[in-house]
Amino acid sequence: MKQIKSYTHKKILVLGLAKSGVTAAALLHKLGAFVTVNDKKPLSENPEAQGLLEQGIKVICGEHPVELLEEGFELIVKNPGIPYNNPMIEGAFEKGIPVITEVELAYEVSEAPFIAITGTNGKTTTTTLVFEMLNKGSKQPLIAGNIGTVASGVAQKATNENTIVIELSSFQLMGINSFNPKIAIITNLYDAHLDYHGTRKEYIKAKANITKNQTGFEYLIVNADQNDTLEIANHSSATIIPFSTKRELSEGAYINAGWICFNGENVMKVSEIALPGVHNLENILSAMAAAKLSGVENSAIQEVLQNFTGVKHRLQFVAKIAERKFYNDSKATNILATVNALAAFQAPVILLAGGLDRGNEFDELIPYLKNVKALITFGETAPKLERVGREIGIKIIKRVDNVGKAVPVAYQFSEAGDVILLSPACASWDQYKTFEVRGDIFIEAVHMLK
């Protein structure tokens, strides 16, 4: 860890705890800052805040009092989940107080370079693939961000022999100043988190921050099949590495004659890749590009792709019971993710879907429901999904209370050779704290069938 002096005796407010806030507060304290932590959860119910208090860090819990900003803070480190229209953040901007996320701290103290991955869909799969390829290639990677441990915690342990592979959300990327990854990846861009960002333009602007500090000495790997990602590339100073699943490129990563290729070299046959789904070829191509730029041999890339079958909750194969295959795609929190999941299978599908109602309809699913023989719905969006199911002519449509109850009902209507797929097309927050909890309940219910 770099022993930086820029925070010594600096008065800093850490706003919002969770894992990132706890780690950031402890790191700043270690760097000699005068740290105050403010979290909405009461101290009596807040073991994280209690732990920081024991370290000698000032803690204020139970509310976000705007008057706290009168204490002369020079910097705020914000939890990514706190929106920028929060009164505390708006008040900070009015006073000219800079606001960052802990990813910025991680970059400042890290001795290791970063490979950073963002996008709307495929971030977790791509991040995992990059990590596995570098690991198999003996490059000593460390994984951080949304997929792993807190970035500023990983950065404290990293040396110049490591590479930190990090998944970054638009929320995190809005709070960077100097963060500059050696390699950045933008998987794809679709409408998402508009309730947080307000507009698609602001969402894309946040994603573009991943390359704002890059120069020609760094690389930006971008989806060449999308105008929005190409537009970001056009305004980047990085060396651009495109990837495409639709056409052969003169350079970058692409598919040609049944091979995945990089800069004119055949790396591996598509038919030998274990990970299902056409959409996953985007993730594979971008991960391969990052691995090749990092000096990983083809043999290591091949070994990973021959054995990698997916990350948990993202088109994860769970079990095969009585010739039925069960897949957990709980991370499909939007329509596009469910479209990609459905496109991955040719067998008859029993789809389990539903969740938080964000006001949208599901007509975009209609062209992809042709293989769906039964639809099991749950959550706030159940009626909307059922309307679409009836319109496409799905004969079996059943509503249940939750995911746990959906599994035995789906099995009841299934036959040998069917795929039973949890791919909700919605966030989980109407019934479950996270999509991980929802997916774990699905997995448990599947194993109960055994």
Residue ranges for the known binding site for ATP are 119-125
Long-range contacts made by residues 21-24, C-beta under 8 angstroms, separation at least 24?
21/48, 21/77, 21/79, 21/102, 22/48, 22/51, 22/52, 22/150, 23/102, 23/150, 23/152, 23/153, 24/77, 24/102, 24/105, 24/150, 24/152
- Measured N-to-C along each axis, helices 403-412 and 435-449 cross at an angle, to the nearest 10 degrees, of 40
Whole-angstrom distance, CA of residue 1 vs CA of residue 154: 10
Query: Among 378, 381, 335, which Cα is nearest to 359's?
Result: 381
Query: Among 147, 156, 8, 171, which Cα is nearest to 75's?
Result: 8
Which residues participate in the annotated binding site? 119-125
Who's near 218: CB < 8 A, 6+ residues apart? 180, 181, 182, 183, 184, 238, 239
Query: Rounded to the nearest 5°, which phi and psi values hold at 238?
Result: -75, 165
